[in-house]
Amino acid sequence: MTFPQWIRACLDRVEIALQNGLPEVDCAPAKLHEAMRYAVLGGGKRVLPLLCHATGELVGAGSQALVVASVSLELIHTCSLVHDDMPAMDNDALRRGKPTVHVQYGEAIALLVGDALQSQAFIALTADDNGLNAVQQAALMRELARASGSLGMAGGQAIDLESIGTQLSRAELETMHGKKTGALIRAAVRMGALCGVTPEASAMSALDAYAEAIGLAFQVVDDILDMTADSATLGKTAGKDAQHDKPTYVSMIGLDASRDLAHQLGRDARTALDRFGPQAACLRELANLVVNRVH
């Protein structure tokens, strides 16, 4: 199977699980369920599920368990996007090439969509016959909760809001993105590993190093694309970082240096996988995909 074929197979499984796992629109409250499905289905890069699958396959995890973990990650990620786009946060009108949830359904429903998707993520992880035993369910819930809470994604967003119009040091910028973007990426890698035979400590440390490099590379490329791509390509509003006076890698070190940094982080990620040999081929390809993406 080629890498593009592997991606398609993974994403097809995850998309079907998302469609089947979300409440149907004929179930009350219909408008909320319609908005949840609008937010989640038919769009997005689905990088988190791909990372989860690639790591899980490295440790012999079953397909069913990896799909469940991937669904939970994607639901939390979409929850964060719905909330981040709202007027109290980034106030964006475009996401995944279509109007944001609060534009389409109103702010109150958008707030509830994010809340409901967060709950739905943990419902997925604790469903009967989902391919996970009780120990795995508890471990995965802890990883996901930690990554999405105040010490992870939510905390990174808080720092982001507080930093508008200020000058952060490079270390502070890295810390912010390590929480806001990096925490869920690290969780995706770790959750994939926890779906199978948990690697020994040194192997898990290598996977953490890979995830840290990929998480930062993803944000650096985001900063580059925000300046260089258009809204139609991105599927979201381009140039909003500069418009909101947010600190970015491009504003801090310049465009060329940011590109160099992204490629260096990609090399760091691939180096972290040396101990795994050819079995980590998909993780290496995902590192290339993150660094070289155009949207």
pLDDT in tens, the chain (295 residues): 899 999 999 999 999 999 999 999 999 999 999 999 999 997 889 999 999 999 999 999 999 999 999 999 999 999 999 999 999 998 999 998 899 999 999 999 999 999 999 999 999 999 988 989 999 999 999 999 999 999 999 999 999 888 888 888 889 999 998 998 999 999 999 999 999 988 899 999 999 999 999 999 999 999 999 888 888 778 778 777 777 778 889 989 999 999 999 999 999 999 999 999 999 999 999 999 999 998 8
pTM metric for this prediction: 0.95
Q: Give the bridge partners for 99, in sequence order.
A: 94
| Spatial contact of 195 and 136, defined as CB atoms under 8 Å apart | yes
Q: Which domains does the chain have, with CATH numbers?
A: 3-290 (1.10.600.10)
Report CA 137 to chain centroid distance, whole Å: 20
Name 117's Cβ contacts closer than 8 Å, sequence gap at least 6: 36, 39, 40, 75, 76, 78, 79, 82
Q: Give the bridge partners for 95, in sequence order.
A: 98
